[in-house]
């Protein structure tokens, strides 16, 4: 397992007391990985320290305000490509089928395109596949990095670290296009309710629908996180 990728996955997970208790180990893993530059390791320390030392309820509130109540900061990758269109449903079906064909039985309340879930999966892949997948998503990672930097959130360093691990440079045209969309105001509950109720994810019948770039990125996954139970003989 790529322990650094697993650690970054945990940093982007909903804060819990158990996660807080794991921060010293996670910090040590990140500090020991020579794939991350010295400045990058330094940039990651504030989020590690915050998750370890801050009040758990404050951490959870901040997480929800950032990632659950701001569509422009969503950790669900297809949200940034398809929104709530039928194309997103088709891409989701394709991803679920990819997991199942690989013998995966995902145990999570999150959608399959949730970034921490994807990172955990990639932590079990070869280094070359990991870099390729992260490179394919580089424009999304960079956009989230910029948006979080604007909000002065220490979470920005996690996305910068993922970009560094990918070895890729984000397409600035694609990043600029994504950044052109206005940021959500997580405190405007009425506006957020209207946005989320516009449409719902529809899991369409075509598993090949959607963005070819991300679809191709996901079809290369072939090692399970949680092996599916063996069929009864």
The predicted-structure confidence for 65-118, as pLDDT tens digits, reads as follows: 999 988 899 999 878 875 565 566 677 777 777 667 656 666 666 777 889 988
pLDDT, tens only, 158-202: 999 999 999 999 999 999 999 998 877 666 555 555 544 544 443
- In terms of Cβ atoms closer than 10 Å to its own Cβ (0-12, 13-18, 19+), residue 152 is exposed
* Model confidence, pTM: 0.77
Contact, 9 vs 116, CB < 8 A?
yes
Distances (CA, A) of 49 to 128, 133, 155, 156, 199: 30, 28, 12, 14, 38
pLDDT in tens, 119-158: 887 887 789 988 998 999 999 999 999 999 999 999 999 9
Give the tokens for residue 78.
């297809």
**Rg of the chain (C-alpha set):** 18
């Amino acid at each position: 397992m790529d322990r650094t990728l697993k650690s970054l996955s945990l940093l982007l997970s909903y804060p819990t007391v158990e996660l807080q208790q794991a921060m010293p180990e996670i910090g040590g893993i990140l500090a020991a990985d020579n794939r991350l530059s010295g400045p990058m390791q330094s940039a990651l320390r504030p989020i590690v320290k915050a998750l370890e030392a801050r009040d758990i309820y404050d951490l959870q509130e901040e997480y929800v305000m950032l990632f659950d109540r701001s569509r422009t900061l969503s950790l669900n990758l297809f949200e940034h490509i398809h929104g709530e269109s039928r194309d997103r449903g088709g891409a989701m079906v394709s991803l679920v089928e990819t997991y199942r064909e690989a013998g995966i039985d995902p145990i999570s309340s999150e959608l399959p395109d949730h970034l921490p879930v994807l990172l955990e999966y990639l932590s079990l892949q070869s280094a070359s596949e990991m870099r390729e997948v992260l490179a394919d998503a580089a424009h999304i990672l960079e956009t989230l990095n910029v948006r979080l930097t604007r909000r002065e959130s220490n979470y920005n360093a996690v996305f910068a670290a993922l970009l560094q691990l990918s070895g890729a440079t984000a397409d600035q045209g694609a990043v600029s296009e994504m950044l052109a969309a206005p940021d959500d105001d997580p405190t405007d509950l009425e506006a957020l309710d209207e946005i989320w109720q516009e449409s719902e994810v529809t899991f369409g019948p075509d598993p090949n629908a959607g963005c070819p770039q991300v679809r191709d990125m996901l079809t290369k996954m072939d090692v399970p996180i949680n092996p599916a139970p063996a069929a009864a003989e």
